[in-house]
Amino acid sequence: MADRYDVIIVGAGPAGLAAAIYASRARLRTLVLDESVPGGQMKTTHKVSNYPGFPEDVKGTDLAKAFSTQAERFGTQIRRAIEITGHDLSGPMKSFELDEEETVEAPAVIVATGAKPRELGVVGESKFRGRGISYCATCDGAYFEGKEIHVIGGGNSAVEESLFLTQFAKKVTIIHQFDHFQAEPVSAAEALSNPKIEVIWDSEPRAFLGETQLDKLRIENVKTKEVRELATEGVFVFVGYVPRTDLVKGLVKMNQWGYVETGEDMSTDIPGLYVAGDIRSKQFRQITTAVADGTVAALAVQKYVKAHGKAAA
* Binding residues vs another protein (CB under 8 A): 35-37, 39, 43-44, 61, 64, 80-81, 83, 85, 99-100, 116, 129-132, 134-136, 138-140, 142-144, 212-213, 234
* Residue 31 Cβ vs another protein, minimum distance, rounded to whole Å: 17
* Residue 179 Cβ vs another protein, minimum distance, rounded to whole Å: 30
- Name the residue nearer to another protein (CB basis): 258 or 271: 258
- Name the residue nearer to another protein (CB basis): 232 or 289: 232
* Residue 172 Cβ vs another protein, minimum distance, rounded to whole Å: 15
* Residue 93 Cβ vs another protein, minimum distance, rounded to whole Å: 25
DSSP states of the chain as a string? -PEE-SEEEE--SHHHHHHHHHHHHTT--EEEE-SSSTTGGGGG-S-B--STT-SS-B-HHHHHHHHHHHHHHTT-EEE-S--EEEEE-SSSSEEEEETTTEEEEESEEEE---EEEPP---BTTTTTBTTTEES-HHHHGGGGTT-EEEEE--SHHHHHHHHHHTTT-SEEEEE-SSSS--S-HHHHHHHHT-TTEEEE-SEEEEEEEESSSEEEEEEEETTT--EEEEE-S-EEE---EEE--TTTTTTS-B-TTSPBP--TTSB-SSTTEEE-STTB--S---HHHHHHHHHHHHHHHHHHHHHH-PPP-
* Residue 114 Cβ vs another protein, minimum distance, rounded to whole Å: 12
- Name the residue nearer to another protein (CB basis): 212 or 256: 212
- Name the residue nearer to another protein (CB basis): 106 or 151: 151
- Name the residue nearer to another protein (CB basis): 134 or 203: 134
